[in-house]
Structure 1
Amino acid sequence: MKIDSVATKALLDIDKNIDTLVKQVEMLSYVNPLNIEEEKSRFFSSKYLTDPVFKYPEINFDRFKLHRALFTQSLELIEDEEVKNLYEDIIYAYSGLIQCIQTIGTGKKFYYNCLRCFGTPTENDVENAKFILHFEDENKDIPAFQAKYNATEAEVFFKDFSKKYDFSYSITHSDKISAIAMVLNNIKTLVLNTNHTYSDNEIAVLTNHEIGVHMVTTMNGLLHPLKIFSHGFPNNEETQEGLAVFSEYMSNNLTITRLKELAYRVIAVDSLAKGYSFSRTFRLLHNQYDLEREEAFYITVRAHRGGGFTKDYLYLTGLKKVYDYYHEGKDLSLLLTGKVSLEYTNEIKSLIEKGLAVPSKHITDSYTENKNTNKKVDFILRSLK
């Protein structure tokens, strides 16, 4: 496909239009409650009986106009059938995300919209989670697991780790996020949670996860003629989180404790499907599974925020898919080209061949050599169904 052909110009125009529209659709900017800590105190004071009432950021776009503008794109001008089908999938996926965002805080409405976008754990996924929970955690008394660094001190480690890469980004701090760190793709920013004290193990995990993958795919995504690599393919969350946890594995930082955290997330999301309230999911994790109340609370927040955010089970399914993909000898760099999905590897290759995409410039540091020495972790990942 010549880059100066009429059909290609039409494609680039459509791609640019979609990019302009979906820049505002950053789910994590809207779904993280603003009053987590206040509601945690209230919840603990109620002896885990009164469900938190979360407040969310205001939505700063016109949802109806955004939907309408997405669906008025002239996809019939894209002559290449494969590319046209990809853009159809993208428009439907973003329409689903807009519906999710516009129903944050409405309970069941938001939950049903999330089901359409992210799905829910299958019986297999729940069995995999329960299988992982049979294993003993590492010894938490060893120095690597001791909480040591506040967000400002932790920032130094992220900056030092980032010297491995030829890009720059911003770091900010927040007390309004449910994760202990996260990357905001649309503004190339790492956010560290000021309510958290980080251990050496967490720093090792997060640098490889957030910078080694999420920031790498953010930066690679910006290098293509097509902006869909930057704003994201359909179902990219599963692949991106799978790649990020796989980076923890390859750098020898994936522990049984971390795998169990991902398993508890599956259990928490499965409880949504069973109709559990916030307090009931919390009590399941805290009483039945013996999770410390702080950890049980934050895992419950992640699953119940917005009214039922099902995305969290995808970390484990994504990890298994990427682990298998790697052990089949397939090319990981294809999955680092941007916010892409495993299901679209053929389309990515095709777009590179047509000059509409470029191979990954930045490669996850841990992917150059498998340093994992934890045989138990390998056994678990091989055994997952």
Structure 2
Amino acid sequence: MNPTESDTKALLKIDNRIDELVKQIELLSYVNPTNIEEEKERFFATKYLTDPIFKYPEINFDRFKLHRELFSQPLESIEDDKVRQLYEDIIYAYSGLIQCIENIGEGKKFYYNSLHAFGTPTEQDVENAKFILHFDDESDNDEQFQPKYNAQETEQLFRDYSKQYDFSYTIKHSDKMSAIAMVLNNIKTLVINSNHTFSDNEIAVLTNHEIGVHMVTTMNGQLHPLKIFSHGFPNYEETQEGLAVFSEYMSDNLTVKRLKELAYRVIAVDSLAKGYSFSKTFRLLHNQYDLNRDKAFYITVRAHRGGGFTKDYLYLTGLKKVYDYYQSGKDLKLLLTGKIALEYCNEIEFLNKKGLAVASKHITDSYFKNNNTNKTVDFILKSLK
């Protein structure tokens, strides 16, 4: 057996073992409170003064054992420096996610782990968000924003949209989530919020975002010899959410209203760094920024869940990075190969050459042609620093 074959065998063994371990840690399965609606009623009844007390799902894995197993992987048996460094980054990233999960509901403890895993908005990110909020958005009375479809009807619309893709997935409904829809990567499942009534615009946005990118990259990720493409590169969330919102843009469904929603998320996450309580973040959005109380509540939940979940600011930073990547003429297909991060493009091309990665089989439908007609959205995206 030559050194290359030996190196590949050692790498595949480590990669498979990491895959077995991290299948257990789908952060979104644990960080979403189970009593959002009850606490919303209580919060509104107290005139926005008493912070919600959220409950979270039980953790069903041995956290210490997971840490120990991750750090006991024999990375020294990977001969290639580039690949060995990648797997070191992977182990540290997943250890950080385990720490996030084990501290859900522990206030500052969780916040600091979230900070370590996802970072926090820079001053420039906050300035970008405030810049977006200066623009007039579309009227709430526009037909496309009118609530129309219940969860069952929404499920059918997702199924109809998905016929263009050569894969199948599970759809579940939940009344215990802060998002209106989300993809759980590990179990190839789309979860629809059964409390929400969906508009035409939301259907268009979510089909392109959740199926066109999140499910496409889930399915592509499973086609590689290396499982890292499926369970996620370090910091993949920023690229992944950037790609998903960019799909909304390319399909002509990205509105100023939607960009403002992403901007409010940046403001909410920034409030964590300022030490704001749940009620203070809510009042900032509702009173200072004039956001209606339901929207202000759910954006605040997203930022404060777990004890301070900073991931939400990455949608806007990721969108800008993917937009610039596309404008520079680079191939988006490389970014669809799985749950990958922009900063690892060179490593992915290297793994492709070694036969340890494959080209994307499923391609986001909206990426074939730029159908965006919204000049204001274009101006905003070009102007972001």
TM-score band (shorter)? over 0.9
Give the superposed CA RMSD: 1.1
Aligned-partner Cα distance in 1 for 2:162–2:4: 37
Spell out the pairing of 1:24-173 with structure 2 (5 A cutoff): 24-173=24-173
In structure 2, distance between residues paired with 1:7 and 1:238: 31
Q: Following superposition of structure 1 onto structure 2, how do residues 1-385 of structure 1 map, counting pairs within 5 Å? A: 5-385=5-385
- Distance in 1 separating the partners of 2:86 and 2:263: 32
Q: What does the per-residue CA deviation read over 1:35-82, in whole Å, with 9 as the maximum and x for residues that have no partner?
A: 000000000000000000000001001110000000000000001111
| Contact kept in structure 2, 1:2 and 1:354, CA below 8 Å | no
Query: 2:31 & 2:3 partners in 1: Cα distance?
Result: 39
Secondary structure in structure 2 of the residue aligned to 1:183: strand
DSSP-derived class of the 2:28 partner? helix
Instruction: Tell me how far 1:4 sits from its aligned partner.
Output: 7.9
Secondary structure in 2 matching 1:5: helix
Whole-Å separation in 2 of the counterparts to 1:142 and 1:65: 53
Distance in 1 between the 2:212 and 2:79 partners?
A: 36
Deviations 1:323-352 (A, max 9, x none): 000000011111100000000000011101
Letter in 2 for 1:31: V
Give 1:240's aligned amino acid. Q
Q: Alpha-carbon deviation of 1:7?
A: 1.5
| In 2: Cα distance, 1:123 partner to 1:279 partner | 23
Secondary structure of 1:186 counterpart: helix
Letter in 2 for 1:116: H
Helix, strand or coil for the counterpart of 1:356?
Answer: coil
TM-score (norm 2): 0.99
- Change over 3 Å in CA distance of 1:42–1:3 after alignment to 2: farther
Letter in 1 for 2:190: L
CA contact (8 A) 1:3 1:356 kept: no
Alignment check: 8 A CA contact 1:247 1:364 kept: yes
| Superposed CA offset, 1:145-198 (max 9, x none) | 100001101111100100110000000000011000000000000000001000
Structure-1 separation of matches of 2:2 and 2:48 = 62
Deviation at 1:3, TM superposition (A): 11
Equivalents in 1 of 2:357, 2:2: separation in Å?
Answer: 13
CA contact (8 A) 1:2 1:8 kept: no
Give CA-to-partner distance per residue, 1:116-153, whole Å, 9 cap, x none: 00000000000000000000110221211100001101
Task: Provide the rounded CA distance (Å) in 2 between the counterparts of 1:3 and 1:300.
Answer: 53
Structure 1: distance between partners of 2:154 and 2:100: 33
| Structure 2: gaps of 5 or more residues | none
Q: Provide runs of 4+ in structure 1 moved above 3 Å.
A: 1-4
TM-score w.r.t. the length of structure 1 is: 0.99
Distance 1:383 1:323 in 2: 11
Query: 2 CA distance for matches of 1:7 and 1:119?
Result: 34
Shift in CA distance, 207/2, structure 1 to aligned 2, threshold 3 Å: farther
CA distance in 2, matches of 1:266, 1:141: 26
Structure 2 Cα separation of the partners of residues 244 and 349 of structure 1 = 22
Q: Aligned partners of 2:343 and 2:153: how far apart in 1?
A: 39
Name the aligned partner's letter for residue 157 of structure 1.
L
Q: Deviations over 1:353-373 (max 9, x none)?
A: 100000000000000000000
Given that 1:218 and 1:339 are in contact with CA atoms closer than 8 Å, whether structure 2 keeps it comes out as: yes
Is the partner of 2:163 in helix, strand or coil?
Answer: helix
Q: Secondary structure at the match of 1:48?
A: coil
| Cα distance per residue 1:72-95 (max 9 Å; x no partner) | 000000011111010000000000
1:261, distance to aligned residue in structure 2 (A)? 0.1
Give me the whole-angstrom Cα distance separating, in 2, the residues matched to 1:10 and 1:26.
26
Change (3 A) 1:2 1:93: farther
Matching residue's letter, 1:348: I
The 10-residue stretch of structure 1 (133-142 or 52-61) with the greater mean CA deviation from structure 2: 133-142
Structure 2 Cα separation of the partners of residues 66 and 141 of structure 1: 50
